Amino acid sequence: MLQVGSLGGLGLSLEMLLRAEARAASKTDSKAGDVNCILIWTRGGTSHHDSTDPKPEAKAEVRGEFGVIDTALPGIQFTDMMPHFAKQLKQFAVMRNLNPQNAGHGIADAIMMSGKKMNPSITYPCFGSVVAKEKGAKSKLPPFIQIGTQVDRVFGGGTAGYLGIQYNPFELPGDPSKKGFKVRDVTLPGGVSLARVGRRRQALQAIDLLQRGAQQQPSALKAIDGYYENAFSMITSPATQKAFDLNKEKSETRDAYGRTNLGQSCLLARRLIEAGSRFVTVSSPSWDTHVNNFSALRGLLPPLDKAFPALVADLKQRGLLESTLVVWMTDFGRTPLINSAAGRDHWATAGPICFAGAGTPPGQVIGKTDATGARPVDKEYYSNDIAATIYTKLGIPLDTLHVTGDGRPVHVCDGRVIKELMS
């Protein structure tokens, strides 16, 4: 009773405690209804004006240099830099009424990837880390993988936060579009066979036995054993090696995604989901366009425009779209007014985001911004609502309770589910 009373003082009632314990005890890894996620993160803040929310009737210093094109939905236009998005709009949903409520790098990565406001005393876990904790691994692959290194960690964005480093993403540096791309620490070095790995493992075990006789720390050693077993399983698993090998794909498929870093990263993400990972973040750099916004976007937008619709179409063709949520998200939007350096600066109250799969009704544009794209009009949604929608689609109850290292109870999400994105 004293223990329950002390927890109650922190806001954790006996009812909440028992509910959390019951949920943990009843967790099963049923394939029925088991939904995974691919999150495409364009780091730096992608301009909504110059992609999915153009303002062709606005004055030139708002409208910008790009023209507009009609989409598959009557009355909806995108910029002429997004022809694949425009043609395939009936396959996914676009939101124009997101209010990111932030305009700072690092802060954005923490807020948008967790759905939690900044708190100087606690680092909240990102979506992938919560999924890794709540659902665990279902294959020899890590449940949470990040492709690329383009997530700002200054405020713990994209990490496990208070859940602990064991739920951090397995990060894959490098460019999957480059010839000879290999995954560090997973792909065997040239000349090293599986038999040789086995001999090295036996030697390591012999050395460990000598050390353990002197150290006598069975609990710590048991934990280390677990990490070793997981590492060796990944390295020696043919399925793991195959998942990372893009050369197994047809040339036509690779071309459809685009032979770019972002395009091949999205293709790799699909392979990793197929092979058993639960949550894959694809990170893309250089979207902070304070200077020469339009010349920068002429290089940045085409790979995204090609990769996102190709990923959605590929998942659908393979029968994986209903069990895979695809989200494109960025830090925030950019200013309605073009600055003196032909750029757009950070903008806190509007930004682009797209959803597909996992029961998302396709072929819709949700909400709208005002005449200059400054902020949503009428109803608007926030990062915690994005989180609530993602968690609900992935089968994680919003009242899932975690306890921080100092005993503080925290619910996984306090947002509202976006009904327009639910079937």
Per-residue pLDDT tens digits for 18-49: 454 455 445 544 444 699 999 999 999 999 99
Rounded Cα distance between 252 and 46, Å, is 29
**In three state form, how does the secondary structure of 288-355 look?**
CCCCCHHHHHHHHHHHHHHHHHHHHHHHHHCCCHHHEEEEEEECCEECCCCCCCCCCCEECCCCCEEE
What is residue 387's predicted lDDT score, i.e. its pLDDT?
Answer: 98
Q: What are 423's two structure tokens?
A: 């079937």
Joined tokens for residue 406: 């100092």
pLDDT at 10: 38
Contact present, 311 and 328 (Cβ < 8 Å) = no
* pLDDT single digits (tens) 189-247: 555 565 665 665 566 556 555 555 555 555 445 545 554 555 556 666 777 889 999 99
Of 89, 98, 90, whose CA–CA distance to 48 is shortest?
Answer: 98
Q: Report pLDDT digits (tens) over 264-293.
A: 999 999 999 999 999 999 999 999 999 999
Identify the helix (H) or strand (E) that includes residue 240: helix 238-243
For 112-164, the pLDDT digits (tens) are 999 999 999 999 999 999 999 999 999 999 999 999 999 999 999 999 999 99
For residue 395, the model assigns a pLDDT of 98
Taking alpha carbons only, the member of 39, 41, 68 closest to residue 53 is 68
Token pair listed for 377: 């009009």
More confident residue, 68 or 236: 68
Q: Is the separation of the CB atoms in 139 and 274 below 8 Å?
A: no
What are φ and ψ of residue 38, in 5° steps? Answer: -120, 120
Per residue in 240-263, pLDDT (tens digit) is 889 999 999 999 999 999 999 999
Average pLDDT, the chain: 88
CA atoms within 13 A on the CB side of 417: 17
What is the predicted pLDDT for the residue at 410? 97
Does an H or E element contain 172, and which? strand 170-172
- As a whole number of Å, the end-to-end CA separation of the chain is 44
CB 36 within 8 A of CB 270: no
Place of tokens 């959803």: 355
The alpha carbon of residue 333 and the mean position of all alpha carbons in its chain are separated, in whole angstroms, by 18
> Which residues lie below 8 Å from residue 241, measured CB to CB, with a gap of 6+?
186, 187, 188
The C-alpha atoms of residue 119 and residue 155 are separated, in whole angstroms, by 10
Query: Residue 239's pLDDT is what?
Result: 77
The pLDDT of residue 194: 55
Cα–Cα distance measured from residue 344 to residue 47, given in angstroms and rounded to the nearest whole number: 8
Residue pointed to by tokens 């005890």: 25
CATH class given for the domain over 36-184+244-421: alpha beta
The separation between CA 251 and the C-alpha centre of its own chain, rounded to angstroms, equals: 26
- Distance separating alpha carbons of residues 114 and 153, to the nearest angstrom: 13
Per DSSP, the three-state class of 208 is: helix
Question: Rounded to whole angstroms, how far apart are CA atoms 128 and 114?
Answer: 9
Q: Is 235:141 a contact under the CB 8 Å cutoff?
A: no
**pLDDT at 286 (0 to 100):** 98
Per residue in 324-368, pLDDT (tens digit) is 999 999 999 999 999 999 999 999 999 999 999 999 999 999 999
407 HSE (CA, 13 A, CB side): 11
pLDDT at position 182: 86
Q: What are 98's strand-pairing partners? A: 381
CA-based nearest residue to 141, from 270, 30, 272: 272
Say what percent of the chain tops pLDDT 70.
Answer: 80
Q: How far is CA 303 from CA 6, 71, 93, 259, 285, in A?
A: 54, 18, 19, 9, 12
Instruction: Give the model's pLDDT for residue 238.
Output: 78
Q: Is 410 helix (H, G, I), strand (E, B) or coil?
A: strand
Res. 71: pLDDT tops 90: yes
Residue 16: count other Cβ atoms within 10 Å of its Cβ.
Answer: 16
